[in-house]
Amino acid sequence: MRKNILKAPFVKEMCMTTANMYRIGWDERNGGNVSYLLDEKEVSKYLNLNKVIRRIPTGFEAKELIGKIFIVTGRGKYFKNVEYSPETNLGIVRIANDGTTAELLWGFEGGGVFTSEFPAHMMSHIARLKVDPENRVVIHTHPTHTLAMNFIHDLDEKKFTHTLWEMCTECIAVFPEGVGVLPWMLCGTNSIGEATANKMKDFRVVVWGMHGVYGAGKDLDETFGLIETVEKAAQIYVLTCNRPRINTIKDEQMQELAEYFKVNYRKDFLNL
């Protein structure tokens, strides 16, 4: 006998994470989307994997992900509603053998479909899995201060990263590879998905200019925490950027931090 899908850890985690992101103001209205690569054996405890509810075209080809199962947020859905009606706002899909179709195994009740950013998510999953097979989560969100920083700071990867690293002692240890940055691009297209995936080869956080960020990690906690750290640093920058800076973390100190924590940091992003 299969277990209740609503009690599955991955469903409960999605509900908790999306609720947190809404409550702290990162995902207004239907902004933001999340996808999480699941373990087939774990999903089979809750669902009959031979029962396909319907098939949904993905709009791109993802041969590398054939047979992979994802839980993903729905198109036009509000994060504030996920915890109250997960079966409507979330869906569990499997990439079909043709690589261009997703098989709905659960959720999206009432005719819903996955987020319009689904191709961008899948492209990012492909890129991150090649770097680290344990990277299973992709989050797109609109963290307020990181977005505000886009309008007053040079959108250059080295400069943007360097400023964030200066804001909090932990930053170079949490995202030692820095952050990737893209200029403003039309969202919901394969073009922005391809550009993001290309950045994901080198970065776990990619800034979408004047829009938000994409973050990747091993689980929902790690990915949320990664973006949260970037956002905290951006908040400190926004609070201090118009005031005289009396103190700062020097490049030599950031280097000392990175080497103490034994992280593989971008040395070329420091001015040594």
| Domain shared by 110 and 222, yes or no | no
Identify the band that residue 73 occupies on the pLDDT scale cut at 50, 70 and 90: very high
Q: In this structure, are 65 and 175 located in the same domain?
A: no
Based on the fold, state whether residues 76 and 201 are members of the same structural domain: no
List all residues 6 or more positions away from 228 whose beta carbon is below 8 Å from its beta carbon.
none
pTM tops 0.75, yes or no: yes
Q: Do 65 and 26 share a structural domain?
A: yes
Q: Does position 188 have pLDDT exceeding 90, yes or no? A: no
Final residue before a domain boundary, out of 115, 143, 166? 115
Kindly state whether residues 46 and 58 are assigned to the same domain: yes
State whether 121 and 103 are in the same domain: no
- Do residues 15 and 96 share a domain? yes
Q: Are residues 230 and 136 in the same domain?
A: yes
Last residue of a domain, one of 83, 115, 147: 115
In this prediction, residue 2 carries a pLDDT of 86
Would you say residue 18 has pLDDT above 90?
A: yes
Backbone angles phi, psi at 35, to 5 degrees: -135, 145
User: What is the DSSP secondary structure assignment for residue 114, as one 8-state letter?
Assistant: B
Among 115, 150, 168, where does a domain finish? 115
Region 238-248 average pLDDT? 95
User: In the prediction, which pLDDT does 134 show?
Assistant: 96
Is 117 one of the annotated active-site residues of the chain?
A: yes
**Tokens 């405890």 belong to residue:** 45
- Count the domains in the chain: 2
Contact 68, 89 (CB under 8 A): no
> For residue 29, is pLDDT > 90?
yes
Q: Looking at residue 238, which CATH number applies to its domain?
A: 3.40.225.10
pLDDT given for residue 183 in this prediction: 96
Question: Quick one: pLDDT at residue 1?
Answer: 80
Same domain membership, residue 146 and residue 87: no
Q: Kindly state the average pLDDT of the residues 93-106.
A: 97
User: What is the domain range of residue 34?
Assistant: 1-115
State yes or no: pLDDT of 107 exceeds 90: yes
Helix H or strand E segment including 81: helix 79-82
Query: At how many degrees (to 10) do helices 190-200 and 118-131 cross?
Result: 20
Indicate if 95 and 145 belong to the same structural domain.
Answer: no
Residue 74 DSSP symbol: B
Q: How far apart are CA 155 and CA 181, in angstroms?
A: 7
Report the sign of the C-alpha dihedral through residues 233, 238, 240, 244, in that order.
positive
Together in a domain, 107 and 144? no
Could you tell me if 129 and 74 lie in one domain?
Answer: no
Set 13, 83, 87, 117: catalytic member: 117
What pLDDT digit, counting tens, does each position of 193-206 carry?
999 999 999 999 99
